[in-house]
Structure 1
Amino acid sequence: MVLKAFFPTCCASADSGLLVGRWVPGQRSAVILAVVHFPFIPIQVKELLAQVQKASQVQVAVLGTWCYRQQEPEESLGNFLEGLGAIFSHDPWLQLCRERGTRLWSCKASYHQMANTLDTPTEDQVMLIFYDQRKLLLSWLHPPPVLPDCQVGDTTASTGGLADIFDTVARSEILFRNDQFDEGPVRLSHWQSEGVEASILVELAKRASGPVCLLLASLLSLISAASACRSKLSTCEQLRHRLKHLSFIFSTEKAQSPMQLMRKANMLVSVLLDVALGLLLLSWLHSNNRIGQLANALVPVADHVAEELQYLLQWLMGAPAGLKMNRALDQVLGRFFLYHIHLWISYIHLMSPFIEHILWHVGLSACLGLTVALSIFSDIIALLTFHIYCFYVYGARLYCLKIYGLSSLWRLFRGKKWNVLRQRVDSCSYDLDQLFIGTLLFTILVFLLPTTALYYLVFTLLRLLVITVQGLIHLLVDLINSLPLYSLGLRLCRPYRLAAGVKFRVLEKEAGRPLRLLMQINPLPYSHVMHTYRLPSCGCHPKHSWGTLCRKLFFGELIYPWRQREDKQD
């Protein structure tokens, strides 16, 4: 039978000694974690293994021997290594040997207990698989969305059989990072973590961050309680969303899973990037008196928009595109909307002396983040186009009233009526007076419908234009809020950190020699990174499908195609 031995590449040139690792019986695999060098005392090795098992909850044992020979084989060393199997007694007992200065390897796996009962030597064929201990320790194995492409000479492994391998190396981190095992009487060879001074600084930062996070979490909870009022403004929604992010970042609770830890890192990077972009926008606004220039340009732009709307209404009050309109209704609607435009321009001119101060204070909000500034800009657009919204509501209500009136009168002609209690159309008999009044009302509504429909169509298009601009702003805010920048940075700079599986590359395949493979990590695709680590967002998305939206537009029902989304916390 074939036995798989996962051997760390950092131990390929280590001195002779014992192979320490874990045996995975379900997969007939041996995960070698370190090499114990000579000289050593067996009782000290067993005490070391007991300490590691207690600290990591990994069944670490001596799996065999490792021999890194000189050009001439040392018979005494070989006999001594073979005799160690009786002291540690592990089945199967691995015997790995490499000739110094050459690429020749020999691998054997023997069973001492079975050999004693059967009086015959029992051995297995060993497949030697090299792996990078550091990359495997820092990696997090994900289920791949699709099977990755295999190169020539490579084979791809599924994540199901590799979960135990990754878990063994990850849980044995104390063996690689704790210096008490290396400074004791037993010398080990394994991957060594670098930057001891940096780790000390990180530990001090962790200890100091506890009280700071507790204080910030208390302040954020008070601010969240104070801002618990519900508001439809985009700025309030974005501030509440950022408060949730900051509360999660500065929470003192320890992350229960790598997913929560990655989410916290993504939120922190997202907030930092948002604030950095906001500060850049703030510096741009306050340089060269750009706020004053915007304030001076705002009133002329409002006047120009008002003039264009007045020209549009005057065009509708005439014979637009040669259409025959109802003169009386056309004049009433046109003058009604012109009066609203006059009121709105008077309000803008009344506020013109304070516009620069308002924009200056609004610009300071960019220090809270670019998303907050964009949300305020969206609310400003909503306030500046409030008259267009009013026109749309007036036109939609009037058009909807006529559409439902015509549909009700059409049912009257067919001897039908709408049953309000049962929510269905039932048969009904009408007398002559009811039919005469119904015919008269139906005729009036039909002749008035083109004028109302034209006003409704024009102002609906203007309203949809404003909604489209606000939707693009909200999509940009949603992108900044939900983009997992930390995960994308890991995928770009250290692709082995997010693993979607592994692939094996054949190093040596010769008759009479053990098969040697190199295990390489397949990184997670960028699309899967975005799907897995995407942050919850308060951005907007269509409330209705396109079919429902078109039906509402046709019947004159009010539409709010952009609404705030409430993502579920995983």
Structure 2
Amino acid sequence: MVLKVFFPQCCNRADSGLLVGRWISGHESAVVLAVIHYPFIPGQVKQYVQQMEAQSGAELSVLGSWSLPKEGQEGMESFLRDLSTIFPQQRWLQINRELGKTGFSCQVLQRDQDGKLVQPETKKKVEGGDEEQEQEEEEEVIFVHYEQKKVMFSQLHPVENGVPDLRTDPPSELRQMFQAVAGSAPLFFLDRYDDGPLKSTHWQTEGREASIVVELLRQGSVPLCLLLSWLLSIWTWTFSGRVFSLFPLRFLSRKLSSCIQLRYRTEHMRTLSSVERAAGHTPFMSKANMVVSLLVDVSLGMLLMWWLYRDDHISMLANTLVPAADHVAKQLEELLQWLMGAPAGLKMNRALDQVLGRFFLYHIHLWISYIHLLAPFVERILWYGGLSACFGLTFALSLLSDMVALLTFHIYCFYVYGARLYCLKVFGLSSLWRLFRGKKWNVLRQRVDSCCYDLDQLFIGTLLFTVLLFLLPTTALYYLVFTLLRLVVVLFQGVLHLSVDFINSFPLFSVALRLTRPHRLAEGVKFRVLCEEPGTALHLLMEINPLKCSAVVQTYRTPTYSCYPRDSWAALVKKLFVGELVYPWRHKTTKTD
């Protein structure tokens, strides 16, 4: 039988005393958490352990004794062994370290039926020939040394096997060991500088690590959270009125990216302003990532504001925007004039070509008049729009996406007109093609059934099929051109949305923690032989394997509203081929009608 003892490295040279720790249930393992130094009063040690159990909620006990011989402490080993009668444990570990040796020697004592501690001897049967021989085998002890500070602040992530269900799957030995160290924080408050009767050795033996700045932030976080909660309640009450629930405002709030981003940041602030303490590692990391994301977002927004209002860059943008819109409109007009002729030598339907070309030219003339009407107010709109960067760079990028959508609204209209006309002809041709094959679409059963048509129906169907087939190339050409223009705009808006999504969801705090303190996010552990001396137990060193950066991003990525393609690339190409509209403003949380 093999007994594993997880021993902290900080206790390798501790003074002689008692080992305080915990037995791991279901496994032949023990975790040493601290060493209480001699001299001490056993009653005070027992009372102290009970207090630590009540504060931490974890099961603690005196595992045994630790002996490091020094001058003037002869007979310490036998004295500590006799203390086992005061601490009635089923097992008693008697760990000794000799001077000049790196390894330890350990004796595992168990209580017999009379309550006395004896060294157990297990017997195993060995078959030899026709007789069975019995050999005595002592319990083997393996010491696993660990760095207590790293294990204390580490979070073990079961990436490959998933998060175990504690109700059905019992926690592993390693996970119980990490939980035992992390759940024994009150035990580490006692250090050698305390005036009490007990002195102990653990990872904070040289004094408790603390930061005045962190403590001040912790004390000031409660009134700050209350203030934010009050401001957010006023903000929510203002926008929950009946005026904002009317159809135009409600429709715009669901479609405009700036309104969606503002609502998203409001949910973040509501989460951060909660005075409830984050219970667990994942909620704490989620809040920390939100705080860092918000700070980075606002910092980048303030930097953008500093650039916009320095050296009158807003006037330069306003003077460039209107001529650029005129240039785009003139290019579209030239494109329509080219399509109304013989584009690329193609022979188009003259009548339909002229009708479509004049229809789209009329819309361009309306758009040019609209741009010239807004020209005197463009600089003022940009000036006030630049102030939105104080809410963060993501809000400014969302507002830019909305401005691009409004400035290219005529391109969207052209795309919708061309797509609807093209889709009508494609579905008409497909329906008439079923007529030639003696089929029809059953609307009730949602399937294609056989059908018998008379001569008049076949004649009219043939006539309509011929008309639609010869008009399809002209319509398809206009649809192709305006779809490509629309995809260029959607691509630019997609880059803006991906930038906003990256800032909103990227776990910057977790990644920085992984790069600076990789032991905080642990994927597993590895062992290597630390010491193997004759006459001593086997000593292993446990090292923490940090979580991969890709796994950190995947685990702690903040959920966002951002839009990703709902369909695969094949489904998207199919929609474009049959003329179905592609709405880029539909997000994950938006239900399709």
Please report the TM-score for the alignment, with normalisation by the length of structure 1: 0.91
- Which residue in the other structure is 1:55 paired with? 55
Residues 75-474 of structure 1 mapped to structure 2, 5 A cutoff = 75-100=74-99, 102-113=101-112, 122=121, 124-145=139-160, 160-177=172-189, 182-192=194-204, 198=210, 202-227=214-239, 229=250, 230-474=253-497
C-alpha displacement of 1:313: 0.7
Residues 266-309 of structure 1: CA distance to partner in whole angstroms, max 9, x if unpaired? 11111111111111111111112111111111111112111211
Distance 1:435 1:4, change over 3 A: closer
Q: Is the 8 A contact 1:97 1:107 kept in 2?
A: yes
Aligned equivalents of 2:426, 2:66: Cα separation in 1: 88
Aligned equivalents of 1:372, 1:15: Cα separation in 2: 60
Aligned equivalents of 1:116, 1:487: Cα separation in 2: 52
Aligned equivalents of 1:479, 1:2: Cα separation in 2: 50
- Which residue in the other structure is 2:127 paired with? none
Letter in 2 for 1:166: F
Distance 1:126 1:411, change over 3 A: closer
Q: Secondary structure at the match of 1:564?
A: coil
Letter in 2 for 1:6: F
Distance 1:426 1:146, change over 3 A: closer
- Which residue in the other structure is 2:32 paired with? 32
Letter in 2 for 1:482: S
Q: Is the 8 A contact 1:108 1:125 kept in 2?
A: no
C-alpha displacement of 1:500: 1.3
Report the more deviating stretch, 473-482 or 509-518: 509-518
Q: Secondary structure at the match of 2:415?
A: helix
Aligned equivalents of 1:207, 1:146: Cα separation in 2: 39
Q: Is the 8 A contact 1:505 1:517 kept in 2?
A: yes
Report the more deviating stretch, 126-135 or 355-364: 126-135
Residues 226-251 of structure 1: CA distance to partner in whole angstroms, max 9, x if unpaired? 44644211111111111111111111
Residues 71-126 of structure 1: CA distance to partner in whole angstroms, max 9, x if unpaired? x7954223222222233232321122223454253222222436978987656322
Q: Is the 8 A contact 1:213 1:252 kept in 2?
A: yes
Residues 44-69 of structure 1: CA distance to partner in whole angstroms, max 9, x if unpaired? 11111111111112222221111111
Give the unaligned 5+ runs of structure 1.
Answer: 148-157
- Which residue in the other structure is 2:126 paired with? none
Aligned length: 556
Distance 1:438 1:88, change over 3 A: closer
- Which residue in the other structure is 1:515 paired with? 538
Residues 153-186 of structure 1: CA distance to partner in whole angstroms, max 9, x if unpaired? xxxxx98221111111111100113579943211
Letter in 2 for 1:59: E
Q: Secondary structure at the match of 1:94?
A: strand
Give the unaligned 5+ runs of structure 2.
Answer: 122-137, 163-169, 241-249
Letter in 2 for 1:219: L
Aligned equivalents of 1:201, 1:387: Cα separation in 2: 55
C-alpha displacement of 1:139: 1.0
Aligned equivalents of 2:77, 2:453: Cα separation in 1: 111
Letter in 2 for 1:29: S
- Which residue in the other structure is 1:150 paired with? none
Q: Secondary structure at the match of 2:139?
A: strand
C-alpha displacement of 1:202: 4.0
C-alpha displacement of 1:391: 0.5
Report the more deviating stretch, 161-170 or 398-407: 398-407
Aligned equivalents of 1:561, 1:535: Cα separation in 2: 22
Q: Secondary structure at the match of 1:542?
A: coil
- Which residue in the other structure is 1:69 paired with? 69
Letter in 2 for 1:273: V
Q: Is the 8 A contact 1:69 1:98 kept in 2?
A: yes
List structure 1 segments (4+ residues) > 6 angstroms apart after TM superposition. 114-120, 193-197
Q: Is the 8 A contact 1:18 1:36 kept in 2?
A: yes
Q: Secondary structure at the match of 1:90?
A: coil
Letter in 2 for 1:539: S
Letter in 2 for 1:67: S
C-alpha displacement of 1:203: 4.4
Aligned equivalents of 1:87, 1:107: Cα separation in 2: 20
Aligned equivalents of 1:118, 1:195: Cα separation in 2: 37
C-alpha displacement of 1:214: 2.2
Aligned equivalents of 2:446, 2:494: Cα separation in 1: 36
Letter in 2 for 1:520: E
C-alpha displacement of 1:252: 1.7
C-alpha displacement of 1:211: 3.0
Please report the TM-score for the alignment, with normalisation by the length of structure 2: 0.88
Q: Is the 8 A contact 2:192 2:206 kept in 1?
A: no
Q: Select the residue among 497, 512, 515 that pairs with 2:520.
A: 497
Letter in 2 for 1:217: S
